[in-house]
Amino acid sequence: LAKTTQPISMDSYEGQEVNITCSHNNIATNDYITWYQQFPSQGPRFIIQGYKTKVTNEVASLFIPADRKSSTLSLPRVSLSDTAVYYCLVGDSGTGRRALTFGSGTRLQVQP
């Protein structure tokens, strides 16, 4: 299993851009990088997924350098409702389990 390392917590203010970096030095060739968001007492929610370079959707952007040993989730202009825990997962979805092993995540606190 590719181990991931993220900051335990981050603080930001409304309207700022937030970048959360995840390290995954042992990422395998078939592995995808997936980010989830979790609010208290709710199940995680898929945010974005990528394999290489840059992926953007209506919620976030995901930057992946050429060596794929890290990735950065970028949240543009955060609001109070973005306060949550963000998880970076690395795995090959074809095997099921590897893609869904969660680490400690990054607790983002957005202040007014």
Partner 1 sequence: ETGVTQTPRHLVMGMTNKKSLKCEQHLGHNAMYWYKQSAKKPLELMFVYNFKEQTENNSVPSRFSPECPNSSHLFLHLHTLQPEDSALYLCASSQPDKKNTEAFFGQGTRLTVV
Q: Which of 21, 49, 61, 74 binds partner 1 (CB under 8 A)?
A: 49
Rounded to whole angstroms, the Cα distance separating 75 from 15 reads 10
Instruction: Choose the stretch contacting partner 1; rule: CB under 8 A; options: 18-26, 44-52, 63-71, 73-81.
Output: 44-52
Q: How far is the CB of 46 from partner 1 (least distance, A)?
A: 4
CB atoms within 10 A of CB 46: 11
Considering the rule CB under 8 A, would residue 8 count as an interface residue with partner 1? no
Nearest Cα neighbor of 81 from 34, 18, 35 is 18
Residues 6 or more apart whose CB falls under 8 angstroms from that of 41 comprise none
Contacting residues toward partner 1, per CB under 8 A: 32, 34, 36, 41-46, 49, 51, 93-97, 99-105
